Chains A and B, each alone.
Chain A
Amino acid sequence: MIASGLLHNPLLWILSVPLASAGFLAVLPNWRLAAALNIVASAGTFAASLMLFVHRPEPTRLLFIDDFNIYLVVLTAFVAFTTTIFSAAYIGRETEAQRLSPLHLRFYHSMYQAFVFTMLLALTANNTGVMWVAVEAATLTTVLMVSLYRTREAIEAAWKYFILCSVGIGLALFGTTLVYLAAQPVMGDGADAMAWTLMIKRAGAFQPDLLNLAFVFVLVGYGTKVGLAPLHAWLPDAHAEGPTPISAVLSGLLLNVALYALLRFKMLIAANGHTLTPGPLMVMMGLSSLFLAAFMLYRRGDIKRLFAYSSIEHMGVITFAFGMGGPLANFAGLMHMTMHSLTKSAIFFAVGIITQNAGTKSIAGIRGLTTTHPVLGWGFVVAVLAIAGLPPMGVFMSEFLVVTSTFAREPLLAVPLIVGLLLAFGALVSRLQGMAFGDPVPGVIVHGTGSRLATIMAHLPLWAHMTLVVIAGLWLPAPLVAWFQAVAKLLG
């Protein structure tokens, strides 16, 4: 009876499928088969996550699903799935180029599934401690994948990533402990004092000053993982040196997960109501990230670092939005999270193919994409314009809401926001034009090597994401809107 109930619980599948396949892929020698299995497993996870729409399980002490994490779970499963498709095509060409050995690949696939598992666990955990452990595990798995290429740069990036994020994680744990201390007198000892679903109900009675203190540590701790300036240092290098599929999921998913953790704590604060408002801290962090990234964009010569910094910029905007709070800004923030993860991963898909074709990551070495590879080139153009915040793509809607609502309330805060956005816009446009137009570099591979199937697999995810983003820019499904609005209310 209970067993059958468990079997019907989508969460069980969502978590077990990646975990099991991680174990299995670790021992599977044939990398082509592994890549295929990787796709199948992620497809299964995605299918299971879709079941959440029809049947939303009851929250337990350990796991739960609510309006906030339901679409994040589906989004994560979806992007993880499309990334595996891209990854299959990508590693195909990497192995041709002798950059990756089968051993590396076995490790890679297994770690990929493990990584997906940790993210899903962090999203669905109903316990601050479990969530913390999951995020920490996510760090470990990605550190290993960032150093996959074993180049000096890769190892240095991994080291930087590892040290900074371990410290960040540590601080986050201290924050978690403080929250427990704040909750414990009200909720009593044990796991109750760590369960979101229970805490949020009685958060009003928590010790507000402890929550203040806790939020600082959580902000710095998980903020490091979100990549907020000045805690961002690990992000550009980790994105730049790892394999591109990993950059896609790091940027598109991991940052969201960390931000999700941060927002959960903000919900407690909002529910408590007696604390100092966390808004100003987040607004400041957001603005500093926005400006730092905007100016950095002008000096980047490495295409992957360029978009890594653009991720920092967008995380800054999102944090700013949540810092502003209020139904409009919060809605915009949630929308922006979703759109950014879709768009940015799409961009990294494109970047992966582009760098493989050009044989370099240097922007100077990439020109005239729309001439050499029309489909890829224009897809890249659309994606970058989308991330730059141009309609009819989704990011525009969220930026529209953030700017308008902020200006209506705090014009003085909106001005720096606008300046920063405009700066970043200019930088991206100039870089985009340099890469997408003009006379192509002589001797660039005009047609992607490998089978037609591989080419399709390489392009499909990009266009799938962009289609979603364009649709979302003009029309959002009603249930999603309902969830956004419910969460926006909770975020205060």
Chain B
Amino acid sequence: MLIAAAFATLPALSLFALLFGRRAWSHAVVYLGCLGASLCLLAGGLVHLGGHPGAAPTLVLPFGLPWVEAHFRLDNLSALFMVIVDLSAAAASAFGIAYGSHVPEPRRVTPFFPLFLFGMNGVLVADDAFMFLVAWEFMSLASWALVLADHTRAENRKAAMVYLTMAGFGTFCLLPCFGLMAGPGGDYTFAAMRVHELAPTAGFLVVLLVLLGAGSKAGLVPLHAWLPLAHPAAPSHVSALMSGVMTKVALYGLIRVLFDLHGEVGWQWGAAMMVVGGVTAVLGVLYAVLQDDLKVLLAYSTVENIGVAVIGLGLALAFKDSGEPALAALALVAGLYHALNHSIFKSLLFLGTGAILTATGEKSLNALGGLLNRMPWTGAAFLVGAAAISALPPLNGFVSEWLIFQSLFQGPSLPHWAMKFGVPVVGALLALAAALAAACFVRAYGVAFLGRPRSEAARGAVEVPAVMRLTLVVLAALCVLLGAMPVVVTDSLSGVIAPLIGVHFPVSADLGWPWLSPVGATRGSYSGTVLVMVGALMFGAAILAVHGLGVRTLRRAAAWDCGHVEDNPASQYTGDSFAQPLRRVFAATPFRARETVEMPEPGDLGPARHTVHLIDPVWQGLYVSLGRLVDAIADQVNRLQFLTVRRYLLMMFATLVLLLLVVAVRQP
């Protein structure tokens, strides 16, 4: 009821935005409305999870495909993702209240923002293929319009173009996927698909297609190319949703099909997904660590985190197919937990970037610096986010990665040799990704918030309005909370996925609260709660000891810097110089990273220039060459536009004779 009301509100809001967009106060109204709606949906999801997890209320409305009608259903999975989506949605809406007026053309944002939320939530509750895809495309369309909010910049238009085309690709993969699951009968309800038995080849195609379709939306390599273009192009609070939430909706699609509708997916697919996930994670974070634009950096790190989550899903599939439901549950819980965490800290980081943009108008690392002293709240919240995404305990990011590692370590127990040898490799990839993520965010935070300002804009930065600060702080608090009491989350998650796997598997089985001991106490355990408490005690003890034993005086002075005082902020390490060792070591081969240094002639006063060239092999190899192919064919075909009437008649004649021959041949 509440949920339905919230759903109804969103389109109304966008209509309102269309009508009253000129009024100054309309933005606040729209975003407040979105905040309210998403809070309602959030509450709805939580109540469903807490109240009656087993139940799955359904609703059938008389529209959609005539003989199918529109089916909606709220089961555990939907409710969980509804929580994930609307948590960030609420944050983004709240942030938007203050931020919405900073975007260049607010009227191009407010009508689509509610529709975007509408679409994402719609995907979650849809219970037939048609409604699912309508909502899915609705989501893409609304976000496309939002990407075009600042449409006067050519790169945004290119981003939107690539984005919508890839969205189309995704849909055209999902269409046949659902077509196969529904069969020629034309009953497109998910209920029918659950019972419909698939032939082996059909099953194979379904998995492949859903990986392509949902994977392109989630940003799996090599279908990720649109993501770092599109996500940063939108206004920051929208980027937060696209990066933090829309990718999760894509994961929802994957899980819905692979675990619920399809039923029996072979372990090979699990293995394949793990490899794809691993590669995605490493490539994503490698791209990220080399970026200068903060939003692009965050977008690439989204690619990484999606990879991590997909490793979890793949592992779960492999376990499930190999008759290890308990381990499958563990892996799935790990994946979902990571999805939840990522949605939170990625929203936090994107909104933080929005705050930086509001304060400085800059999102290029090399123009920032020293913001922590000027924006203490934003700085602190961003620090929490950065630590969380770097998988540092006791924050939430670590818990999910720990769980994924734990389930990975069980991988070799599978009978298949491919898994025995593959899992360690994937483990290595995951570990590499985690370490690089830390490097990436040390760089991002260190360059943006620490040190000395690198530009006037950064020097003049002031803290953002209270609403923004509050949003950031709340999200940061959530990062800590979900990290410090993981058991609560894992237990509810295992309840959520019980129907999908078939076993209810409390991850804190052996030792009980607050110990997280997934595979049994002997297998290794973790307790964020305990670590927080003890860590705090030791921190306090250290401070007390030091202050007890030593002097407390503290003097401010110029930096020593090995003696030579250099007050030009340009002498600091920049993002590029920080990334240089990593670039040389990791990026030389995959991205063909090349550096060119132009030294001025002796006596020439011009500055020396150092430029870096990166090539995205996927973009070059796949997208560009495909584009070239299409162009070449188009050129050939285009000749047909310029023939003489006689030749057109000739074409007609040829067609006629050909068809006559066909008939002549096919006649008995």
Q: Does A438 contact B (CB under 8 A)?
A: yes
Q: Does A328 contact B (CB under 8 A)?
A: yes
A365 to B176 alpha-carbon distance, docked (Å):
39
- With A233-B648, A292-B637, A298-B630 known as contacts, the answer to whether A404 contacts B176 (CB < 8 A) is yes
Question: Contact at A403–B640, with CB atoms within 8 Å?
Answer: no
A2 to B658 alpha-carbon distance, docked (Å):
51
Q: Does B562 contact A (CB under 8 A)?
A: no
A409 to B180 alpha-carbon distance, docked (Å):
8
Q: Mark B122-136, 1 if CB is under 8 A from A, else 0.
A: 000000011001100
Q: Which of A160, A292, A429 has the most CB of B within 10 A?
A: A429
Instruction: List the B side residues contacting A433 at CB < 8 Å.
Output: 148, 157, 160-161
A326 to B667 alpha-carbon distance, docked (Å):
24
Q: Which residue of chain B has its CB nearest to the CB of A392?
A: B134
A146 to B67 alpha-carbon distance, docked (Å):
42
Q: Mark B651-668, 1 if CB is under 8 A from A, else 0.
A: 110111001101100110
**Which of A55-63, A147-155, A213-221 interfaces with chain B?**
A213-221
A478 to B69 alpha-carbon distance, docked (Å):
12
How far in angstroms is the closest Cβ of chain A from B44?
23
A407 to B138 alpha-carbon distance, docked (Å):
23
Question: Contact at B651–A231, with CB atoms within 8 Å?
Answer: yes
Which one of B66, B137, B165, B667 contacts A391 once the chains associate, using CB atoms below 8 Å?
Answer: B137
Question: Contact at A425–B656, with CB atoms within 8 Å?
Answer: no
Q: Does B631 contact A (CB under 8 A)?
A: yes
Which one of B169, B188, B648, B656 contacts A422 once the chains associate, using CB atoms below 8 Å?
Answer: B169
Instruction: List the A side residues contacting B643 at CB < 8 Å.
Output: 233
Q: How many residues of A contact B (CB 8 A)?
A: 68
How far in angstroms is the closest Cβ of chain A from B155?
12
- With A163-B645, A212-B667 known as contacts, the answer to whether A406 contacts B652 (CB < 8 A) is no
How far in angstroms is the closest Cβ of chain B from A304?
14
Question: Contact at B184–A390, with CB atoms within 8 Å?
Answer: no
Which one of A209, A219, A295, A401 contacts B667 once the chains associate, using CB atoms below 8 Å?
Answer: A209
Question: Contact at B138–A392, with CB atoms within 8 Å?
Answer: yes
Instruction: List the B side residues contacting A406 at CB < 8 Å.
Output: 179
Which one of B65, B184, B656 contacts A220 once the chains associate, using CB atoms below 8 Å?
Answer: B656
Question: Contact at A159–B182, with CB atoms within 8 Å?
Answer: no
Q: Mark A282-299, 1 if CB is under 8 A from B, else 0.
A: 000000000010011011
Which one of B152, B154, B630, B655 contacts A230 once the chains associate, using CB atoms below 8 Å?
Answer: B655
Instruction: List the A side residues contacting B64 at CB < 8 Å.
Output: 474-475
Q: Does A244 contact B (CB under 8 A)?
A: no
Q: Which residue of chain A has its CB nearest to the CB of B666?
A: A276
A476 to B66 alpha-carbon distance, docked (Å):
7
Instruction: List the B side residues contacting A253 at CB < 8 Å.
Output: none
Interface of B is mostly: helix
Q: Mark A302-331, 1 if CB is under 8 A from B, else 0.
A: 000000000000000000000000111000
Q: How many residues of B contact A (CB 8 A)?
A: 60
Q: Which residue of chain B has its CB nearest to the CB of A298?
A: B634
Instruction: List the A side residues contacting B184 at CB < 8 Å.
Output: 326, 328, 405, 408-409
How far in angstroms is the closest Cβ of chain A from B421?
34
Q: Does A358 contact B (CB under 8 A)?
A: no
Question: Contact at A216–B663, with CB atoms within 8 Å?
Answer: yes
Which one of B67, B133, B182, B630 contacts A408 once the chains associate, using CB atoms below 8 Å?
Answer: B182
Q: Does B513 contact A (CB under 8 A)?
A: no
Question: Contact at A407–B180, with CB atoms within 8 Å?
Answer: yes
A404 to B205 alpha-carbon distance, docked (Å):
13
- With A276-B666, A407-B176 known as contacts, the answer to whether A164 contacts B648 (CB < 8 A) is yes
Instruction: List the B side residues contacting A464 at CB < 8 Å.
Output: none
Which one of A295, A405, A421, A437 contacts B633 once the chains associate, using CB atoms below 8 Å?
Answer: A295
Question: Contact at A160–B645, with CB atoms within 8 Å?
Answer: yes
Instruction: List the B side residues contacting A24 at CB < 8 Å.
Output: none
Q: Does A339 contact B (CB under 8 A)?
A: no
A418 to B176 alpha-carbon distance, docked (Å):
9
Question: Contact at A437–B157, with CB atoms within 8 Å?
Answer: yes
Q: Does A364 contact B (CB under 8 A)?
A: no
Q: Does A370 contact B (CB under 8 A)?
A: yes
Question: Contact at A216–B637, with CB atoms within 8 Å?
Answer: no
Instruction: List the A side residues contacting B667 at CB < 8 Å.
Output: 209, 212, 276
Interface of A is mostly: helix
Instruction: List the A side residues contacting B651 at CB < 8 Å.
Output: 230-231, 233
Question: Contact at B137–A396, with CB atoms within 8 Å?
Answer: yes
Q: Mark B582-623, 1 if CB is under 8 A from A, else 0.
A: 000000000000000000000000000000000000000000
Q: Does A426 contact B (CB under 8 A)?
A: yes
Q: Which residue of chain B has its CB nearest to the CB of A419?
A: B172
A230 to B157 alpha-carbon distance, docked (Å):
35
How far in angstroms is the closest Cβ of chain B from A421?
6
Question: Contact at B205–A216, with CB atoms within 8 Å?
Answer: no
Q: Does B551 contact A (CB under 8 A)?
A: no
Which one of B176, B637, B659 contacts A296 once the chains associate, using CB atoms below 8 Å?
Answer: B637
Which one of A230, A426, A438, A439 contacts B652 once the chains associate, using CB atoms below 8 Å?
Answer: A230
A407 to B202 alpha-carbon distance, docked (Å):
10
A408 to B185 alpha-carbon distance, docked (Å):
9
How far in angstroms is the closest Cβ of chain B from A464?
18
Question: Contact at A425–B180, with CB atoms within 8 Å?
Answer: no
Which one of B179, B649, B654, B662 contacts A163 once the chains associate, using CB atoms below 8 Å?
Answer: B649
10 contacts between A and B (CB under 8 A): A171-B656, A295-B634, A298-B630, A390-B137, A404-B188, A407-B180, A408-B180, A426-B630, A430-B165, A434-B157
- A220-B655, A396-B133 given; 9 more Cβ-contact pairs under 8 Å: A164-B652, A212-B666, A296-B640, A391-B133, A400-B175, A403-B175, A404-B186, A422-B168, A478-B66
Interface residues of B (CB under 8 A from A): 62-67, 129-130, 133-134, 137-138, 141, 148, 151-152, 154, 157, 160-161, 164-165, 168-169, 172, 175-176, 178-180, 182-184, 186, 188, 205, 630-631, 633-635, 637-638, 640-641, 643, 645, 648-649, 651-652, 654-656, 659-660, 662-663, 666-667
9 closest A-B pairs (Cβ-Cβ)? A404-B179, A407-B176, A437-B151, A233-B648, A475-B63, A295-B637, A407-B179, A298-B634, A391-B134
